[in-house]
Amino acid sequence: MKTLRLILGDQLNLSHSWLDQENDHHIYLMAEMRQETDYVKHHIQKVVGFFRAMRNFADALEKKGHNVVYFKIGDKNNPQNLPDLIDQTISEHKIEKFEYQLPDEYRLDQQLKKICKSISIPSEAFDTEHFYTKRDELKNHFKGKKQLLMESFYRMMRKKHNILMENDQPEGGKWNFDQSNRKKWDGSPSIPKELSFNADVTELLEEIKSAEVNTFGNIDAKNFPWPTSYQECTELLDFFCSRLLTYFGDYQDALHTQEKYLFHSRLSFAMNSKMLSPKEVINTVVEHYYEHKDDIDISQVEGFIRQILGWREYMRGVYWKEMPNYAELNKLENHNPLPDFFWTGKTKMNCLHNAIAQSLDNAYAHHIQRLMVIGNYALLTQVNPDEVDAWYLGVYIDAIEWVEITNTRGMSQFADGGLVATKPYVSSANYINKMGNYCKECSYSHTVKSGEKSCPFNSLYWNFLEEKKSHFKNNQRMSMMLSLLEKKSQQELSELKERAEKIIQNPDDF
């Protein structure tokens, strides 16, 4: 039976069972489509990264003897959308059956179900064979429970997959070493220069430009840094284990003006495109740890494992449990527009300038920059979560909706009312100063609470608590801060709110 197998741009898994044996009756379909470049405005490095990785994947399939039909973005016969692409390919190649791997975005899942109903041949969906969990595993784990606590899910995953376990107990005597993962980096220990692949993507950029794809952000056409093949992904994984893992946990929350990556792995794009399996990543890291236990503390390894086995799988589970309604949630009723400086990085607030400029230059920021600098500001200024979602989904090379929206609308913006996070992740300037050196060279003082020289985060923080306190009155984790809010004098609160209002109304002046 002549079978068409669709592979999406984030399904680049060379180890998938589909590919175990070549078969002349199977045709693999891949396409760079305007449907995917245009549903949100993307960073140019994200578009280049996915297109280059897709082309490398298609080449690898052909070298293994598979039949591949591939449409580049500028091909004249490229339908540029999934329904027409599948119809056209079925007709041209006289296909008798259509197969696809389950997509990880709800919109594509719905689109493919609709396509399968419309075509006149049999169809079948397969697992991507990438994640540790099935779509509904988190939903089943929390059935009958009031709250989706990540820690509970993480412990279940550690036990189920026997990762960092000694019999039925966690190795090192603790499930979570988060308290050990909050050090400020002050120049020591030294950080190895990041591994960059320095690819020349000039021709691909010209193709994207000729196709009139609308992007933003910056790129060095002669030195594209991201891994776009399985071999490059494994090189990056090995580099992380041998050069960075020793200090990863200690400094994973640190902020610094001179260091973009610190000890972070930069493997999220490799995993989210499925070039690299999370199981291979975790197995490699754990094996390296056991071989070098004299040099690597378990807190470094556990902090990394938690991000993948815990948060990554947890966020995917929440996504499939709560979509499509999750994309509409705005429990705090925030409606302000995203400031213009999110697209330029031009702000006098040094922390935001560094984090946003880095995002625009590198399509990358680590989780604390995303959560406690950029996301913190967006929440405190009460930006519409729809606009925050669109920016995060577009700007980061690793951003695919299943992982982006739960981290942004949930963890960062608390728009889900506490489904993902037990409290809103907001702070004054004190936290940002504690974790890095951003405040040292800023136009504003992190110690001044109100007035023109005060850090905007200080007045915004107390204004947010005052305006949204009704939402948090029953939240035990917010009780201490609400108690401190109540102790402020009317004059002090009035000054804080006046300063905050000026910032919210004119964010690009600060």
- pLDDT tens digit sequence for 406-431: 999 999 999 999 999 999 999 999 99
The pLDDT of residue 146 is 78
The correct answer on CATH 2.102.10.10 for the domain covering 137-201+230-316 is: no
Grade residue 181 by pLDDT with cuts at 50, 70 and 90.
confident
Rounded CA-CA distance 401/48 in Å is: 18
- pLDDT tens digit sequence for 88-121: 999 999 999 999 999 999 999 999 999 999 999 9
What CATH number labels 3-126?
3.40.50.620
The pLDDT of residue 352 is 98
**What is the mean pLDDT of the segment spanning 40-49?**
98
The residue among 73, 54, 71 whose CA lies nearest residue 14 is: 54
Average pLDDT, the chain: 96
Please state whether 172 falls in left (phi above 0), alpha (psi between -120 and 50) or beta: left
The pLDDT of residue 397 is 98
**What is the mean pLDDT of the segment spanning 195-212?**
98
Rounded CA-CA distance 371/365 in Å is: 10
Q: 328-509: which CATH number, 1.10.579.10, 3.40.190.10, 1.20.810.10, 3.90.480.20?
A: 1.10.579.10
Rounded CA-CA distance 505/502 in Å is: 5
Cis peptide, bond prior to residue 324, ω within 30 of zero: yes
- Residue 354 has phi, psi (to 5 degrees) of -65, -45
Residues 6+ apart with CB under 8 A from 292: none
pTM of the model: 0.96
Rounded CA-CA distance 33/51 in Å is: 10
- Paired sense of beta strands 123-126 and 67-71, if any: unpaired
Rounded CA-CA distance 114/29 in Å is: 18
Grade residue 24 by pLDDT with cuts at 50, 70 and 90.
confident
For 125-164, letters b (16+ CB in 10 Å) and e give eeebebbbbebebbeebbeeeeebebeebbeebbeeeebb
Rounded CA-CA distance 14/18 in Å is: 9
The residue among 400, 337, 404 whose CA lies nearest residue 370 is: 404
pLDDT of 341 higher than 90: yes
Cis peptide, bond prior to residue 170, ω within 30 of zero: no
Rounded CA-CA distance 333/314 in Å is: 26
Same fold across 3-126 and 137-201+230-316:
no
Q: Where are the domains of the chain?
A: 3-126, 137-201+230-316, 328-509
- In single-letter form, the type of residue at position 106 comes to Y
The residue among 298, 286, 288 whose CA lies nearest residue 250 is: 298
The pLDDT of residue 182 is 84
Distances in whole angstroms, Cα of residue 324 to Cα of each of 360, 396, 509: 29, 22, 37
Grade residue 23 by pLDDT with cuts at 50, 70 and 90.
confident
Grade residue 145 by pLDDT with cuts at 50, 70 and 90.
confident
The pLDDT of residue 134 is 95
Check: CB of residue 101 under 8 Å from CB of residue 125: yes
